[in-house]
Chain A
Amino acid sequence: MKELKILAVVVFFSLAVYILVEPIAHGVMHKTIDKQGFAYKDLPDVNKKGDATRGKDLVMGAGACTGCHSIEVAGIAPTMDALTASSSYGVVPPDLSIAGAIYDERFLHALIKNPAKALDVEHKFTPDSGKMHPMSSFGGAGGDIDQEIADMVAYLKSIAPDSASVTPTQAFENACGRCHEVRYTNWTQMGEKPKFKKERDSLIYDANVLDYQDNLKKYMGKLPPDLSMKYGARGEQFMSTFVENPQGLLHGTSMPRVGLNAESAEKTLQYLHDSYEPQAMREERDRTGLWVMGFLLILASVAYLWKREVWKDLH
């Protein structure tokens, strides 16, 4: 039929435009890197079985972890408040209660040995720069250093919850929350902003966040962006590969590779997906869409029958 041929021509040219300006042009403009499954193959594999009890002594003692980090589940409070910590280290050293569940084991090992290397920010801490990574490297406690580190990692894993029970919010707060705010979920770098009764208290909180951000800016060279909309702005592929390998996509960036395992990375991204378009909204969209489609299909059928009826008299 002639009308269908015309329709085919219209559809052909419209699709050509679409394919050229959307998938093809975006493919050329935005370079992508392959997902590596959060395996961190560049870091050495350590085949040592750790002993959690010895690890506990090291974490609290020679390893000095608790000099900077809190471990709430073990009853160890932060040594200083968040603002003071940020002025000393640039950021609040994250609480280690769930570190064993969310970070990759190989990565944790490498981190304790040489943070700048594991975090992939060595370019910022070259000998010439005169700067040192705020987390000190563990130099060993007199024995086999790899065994000692394995013990500490074993300890962190022993106190951490089962990785399946970590929530997206916990994963995000621990891995990204010290650097990034997420306005749409009310998250600031100093934690979720509480509801204050007095305006004054609210302003003081905001002022503290501003001070924290100043310290963070000094440490990172720039203020890490708000992540509320980033999932939508960058897309899943970018977000996932960026968390796994920031240098691969933004060469020279000061954002560290945080070393999440695959499961926790997915949860972190889920948190950011929800801040961009909450799950409930996505469901509502599908539901509403089906109703509207149903209505339109009925409309189209009725319209078709009506047209046939009217046109009977014309031809």
Chain B
Amino acid sequence: MANFAKANSVEEWLDQRLAIRTIRRVMSTEYWIPKNVNFLWAMGMILMVTFKLLLVSGIFLLMYYQPNVDTAFDSVNYTIMQDVAYGWLWRHVHAVGASVVFLIIYIHMFTGIYYGSYKKGRELIWISGMILFITFSGLAFSGYMLPWGQMSYWAGMVITNLFSAGSLELHGIVEWVRGDYVPGQAFLDRFFMQHVLLLPLGVLGAIGLHFAALRLPHVNNQDGEEINFEEEAAKYKAGKKKESKVMAFGNDFLSKDIFVLSVFLIFFFYLVFWHYGFALDPVNLDPADGLKTPAHIYPEWYFLWSYEILRPFPKDPGLIAFAFSQVILLLLPFLDRSPNVAPANRRGPFAIWFWVFLVDMIVLTAMGKLPPEGIFNTIGLVAAIVFILLWVALPFITKLEKRL
């Protein structure tokens, strides 16, 4: 048994038992961040906070939600929205949060791509990030089933149908996924389980991995500069804070994080109170009706780009293109053959690749929502082909890139 001296303060008492001073040092006061980072490096923190908002609002919603095909719709739209004090607030926070978290995820991802923050030791950060993206997608989709509105039902129908794998006609798998021939009670129950337990656990685990992967390589910076963290940290600790190229996470970077975060929260709560319509699709305010297909079935905005890669092709090629789009981003660290870690704009052809990719994703997103008719269909098809070509071309473009 270790020898415990009498502690003189609560902090000391805790330190003896939990080593909180070491933890604080490792996680905060001696966790080094390069000085040359901009507010885009606060996106990870914003994601963390948005996830917590989702978690807390979700817990409140869970106290009144009823996962039953007969009562789910009213438990959300009447009980929570009208009967429970401030139920509407939690619902709006949750719905807006689910949408905004994807906006920030995309900004965070494009930041990573732009600054090349996925290579030279940062591969696992990227991969764990993609695991987070996939888990969040599952979380968003399963959550969308819960209000049991028209869009829940029909999007659930369309997406689970993908499991039949086109001409392979694996209807058995579809039934296995649904627990029934069509979405019904078993379907709702299993998505409920995924949404409130399985996938949140997955996200928590993946966040842990993501943070662990950040620890050794440290975060990148906006010049792609390779920093000798030990040397710079020593300068900082010796009191030469101004000369050092790094700063401590707490309170140096944290003070900026919190400022950026509070600006974000102003935007977020503006949406929650006065502009939430985009997050609560009007079609889903009609209760699920298996006999009445809605005129337009579309997923939430953050899935539109991959939906549009599926849609303009014939069935089987479409599915293959879709599968391609789902895994290809995961492989980015290995498809980029250039040794340069630098902002895209300094990387020659890769700069073009980056901006074309960004615009292509936006075009795909827009076409994924518009009805697949006439010109929209053509634009969608071209954009989907461009997407595939971009990724096929990436290793060659980056291979030819000049070393900076």
Name A residues whose Cβ lies closer than 8 Å to a Cβ of B: 2-3, 6-7, 10, 13-14, 16-18, 20-22, 24-25, 28-29, 183-184, 225-226, 228-230, 232-235, 276-278, 281, 285-286, 288-289, 292-293, 296-297, 299-300, 303-304, 306-307, 309-311, 313-315
Docked pose: A228 CA to B73 CA in angstroms? 12
Docked pose: A299 CA to B260 CA in angstroms? 11
Are A13 and B358 interface neighbours, CB within 8 A?
yes
Chain B, interface size category, equals 35 or more
Besides A24-B366, A306-B255, 18 other CB < 8 A contacts? A13-B362, A14-B103, A16-B362, A20-B366, A24-B370, A29-B296, A230-B286, A233-B283, A235-B282, A276-B285, A288-B89, A293-B266, A296-B262, A300-B263, A303-B255, A303-B259, A313-B241, A314-B247
The secondary-structure label for the interface of chain A is helix
Tally A-B pairs: CB < 8 A: 127
Are B242 and A315 interface neighbours, CB within 8 A?
yes
Q: Is B4 an interface residue (CB 8 A)?
A: no
Contacts of A234 in B (CB 8 A): 282
Docked pose: A297 CA to B267 CA in angstroms? 11
Name the residue in B251, B259, B371 with the highest tally of chain A Cβ atoms < 10 Å from its Cβ.
B259
**Shortest Cβ distance from A290 into B: residue:** B273
Docked pose: A293 CA to B39 CA in angstroms? 22
| B10-18, B76-84, B124-132, B182-190 - the one binding chain A | B76-84
Name B residues whose Cβ lies closer than 8 Å to a Cβ of A: 35, 38-40, 74, 77-78, 81-82, 86, 88-89, 103, 107, 241-242, 247, 251-252, 255-256, 258-259, 261-263, 265-266, 269-270, 272-274, 278, 282-283, 285-287, 295-296, 301, 304, 358, 362, 365-366, 369-371
Contacts of B369 in A (CB 8 A): 20-21, 25
A91 to chain B, nearest CB (A): 22
Are A289 and B88 interface neighbours, CB within 8 A?
no
Given A296-B266, A300-B259, A307-B256, are A25 and B366 also a contact pair (CB < 8 Å)? Answer: yes
- Which of the residues B273, B286, B301 comes within 8 Å of A229, measured between beta carbons? B286
- Which of the residues B82, B273, B358, B366 comes within 8 Å of A184, measured between beta carbons? B82
A249 to chain B, nearest CB (A): 12
Given A21-B304, A229-B286, are A313 and B370 also a contact pair (CB < 8 Å)? Answer: no
**Shortest Cβ distance from B87 into A: residue:** A281
Between A and B, 19 residue pairs with Cβ closer than 8 Å are A6-B39, A17-B366, A20-B365, A25-B370, A226-B287, A229-B285, A229-B286, A230-B285, A233-B282, A235-B282, A277-B81, A285-B89, A285-B273, A300-B259, A300-B263, A303-B261, A309-B255, A314-B247, A315-B242
Given A232-B282, A306-B255, are A292 and B82 also a contact pair (CB < 8 Å)? Answer: no
Docked pose: A184 CA to B74 CA in angstroms? 9
Contacts of A288 in B (CB 8 A): 86, 89, 273
Contacts of B247 in A (CB 8 A): 314
Docked pose: A300 CA to B266 CA in angstroms? 9
Docked pose: A293 CA to B358 CA in angstroms? 33
Are B242 and A313 interface neighbours, CB within 8 A?
yes
A146 to chain B, nearest CB (A): 43
Contacts of B88 in A (CB 8 A): 277, 281, 285
- Which of the residues B39, B252, B273, B282 comes within 8 Å of A311, measured between beta carbons? B252
A161 to chain B, nearest CB (A): 30
Docked pose: A29 CA to B369 CA in angstroms? 9
Are B39 and A3 interface neighbours, CB within 8 A?
yes
Are A292 and B269 interface neighbours, CB within 8 A?
yes
Contacts of A286 in B (CB 8 A): 273
Name the residue in B88, B282, B296 with the highest tally of chain A Cβ atoms < 10 Å from its Cβ.
B282
Are A314 and B78 interface neighbours, CB within 8 A?
no
Contacts of A292 in B (CB 8 A): 269, 273
B264 to chain A, nearest CB (A): 10
- Which of the residues A14, A24, A232, A314 comes within 8 Å of B252, measured between beta carbons? A314
Contacts of B261 in A (CB 8 A): 303
7 smallest CB-CB distances across A and B, nearest first, come from A289-B273, A20-B366, A233-B285, A300-B262, A303-B259, A25-B369, A307-B255
Docked pose: A21 CA to B279 CA in angstroms? 12
Contacts of A7 in B (CB 8 A): 39
Are B362 and A6 interface neighbours, CB within 8 A?
no
Are B365 and A17 interface neighbours, CB within 8 A?
yes
Docked pose: A277 CA to B82 CA in angstroms? 7
Docked pose: A162 CA to B304 CA in angstroms? 52
Contacts of A311 in B (CB 8 A): 252, 255-256
Contacts of A183 in B (CB 8 A): 74, 78
B239 to chain A, nearest CB (A): 10
Are A303 and B258 interface neighbours, CB within 8 A?
yes
- Which of the residues B74, B242, B370 comes within 8 Å of A28, measured between beta carbons? B370
Are A296 and B265 interface neighbours, CB within 8 A?
yes
Contacts of B256 in A (CB 8 A): 307, 311
Are B39 and A314 interface neighbours, CB within 8 A?
no
Given A14-B103, A20-B362, A306-B258, are A314 and B269 also a contact pair (CB < 8 Å)? Answer: no
Contacts of A233 in B (CB 8 A): 282-283, 285-286
Are A229 and B77 interface neighbours, CB within 8 A?
yes
Docked pose: A309 CA to B252 CA in angstroms? 10
A68 to chain B, nearest CB (A): 33
Contacts of A24 in B (CB 8 A): 366, 370
Docked pose: A314 CA to B246 CA in angstroms? 9
Are A22 and B278 interface neighbours, CB within 8 A?
yes
- Which of the residues A2, A28, A184 comes within 8 Å of B78, measured between beta carbons? A184
**Shortest Cβ distance from B376 into A: residue:** A28
**Shortest Cβ distance from A302 into B: residue:** B262
Contacts of A276 in B (CB 8 A): 285
- Which of the residues A22, A229, A297, A306 comes within 8 Å of B266, measured between beta carbons? A297
